[in-house]
Structure 1
Amino acid sequence: MKADPLVTPDGRYIVVRGRLWRRSDPRLSDARRQELVDRLMDARRAVGQALRCDSENVSDARAQVDAAKTALGERGPVWWSDGAPDLTRRMARNTIYADWYAQSAEQA
């Protein structure tokens, strides 16, 4: 069974293979989040289909993925308001989360 990814103490990121990825906006209702996740999955399937069979629609399908991820808060402007920078794609060990991450890795 696959374990849930680590979540930073402030809830802004998950850690996948040591790298930070922004989580969706917690202010979204469960219904809205599910609607956007469904849209994201449809868009990802459209990308795969376009890559296999319909190369002229790849960019449109990728734009749909981007739109869904932006609506979820995983891309685009950050959803927090304290002025903290977006650390998406950075290695956790090289960020303000380094100590927390080192301790979490020791416990795993």
Structure 2
Amino acid sequence: MKDLAGTTDDERFFLHSGRRWRRTDPSLPDDVRARLMSHLGRGRSGVRTSAKGDDGAALPRARRTVQLAKEGLGERGTPWWEQSQAERTARWTAALEELDALHPKRPDSAIRKRPGDA
């Protein structure tokens, strides 16, 4: 069977391994997209590691992180092409606010340095 990755009727979806996936909202500013992708990566990593561990609260939190990031990116929830620009902006703003509350940034002084780091 021919691999159809990347081909669809429109720009709203892409195909991967024969499955159709919703594309990220193209109106996202680059900095917003980067922050949401960072949260998505952190959430996916958390799902993998917490599934192996004993922390019962970690897995639901990691899954919530993935869900919020995907909603912010426009990949889940109301399709981005059905929303006005104001609704799209509200969607990613709300997702980032909740994600930032779930995962507050640590001040530089709280980040442990390795021996030899300046």
TM-score normalized by the length of structure 1: 0.66
Matched residue SS, 1:21: strand
Answering whether residue 37 of structure 2 is matched by residue 62 of structure 1, we say no
The equivalent residue for 1:16 is: 16
Runs of 4+ in 1 over 4 A off after TM superposition: none
The equivalent residue for 1:33 is: 33
The equivalent residue for 2:80 is: 79
Partners in 2 of 1:41 and 1:14 — Cα distance? 20
Gaps of at least 5 residues in structure 2 are: 84-118
Q: Larger radius of gyration, structure 1 or 2? A: 2
The two structures, once aligned, show a CA RMSD in angstroms of 1.9
The equivalent residue for 2:92 is: none
Matched residue SS, 2:81: coil
TM-score normalized by the length of structure 2: 0.61
Gaps of at least 5 residues in structure 1 are: 83-108
Q: What is the identity percentage for the equivalent residue pairs of Structure 1 and Structure 2?
A: 38
Tell which has more relative contact order, 1 or 2 (C-alpha 8 A, sep 6+): 1
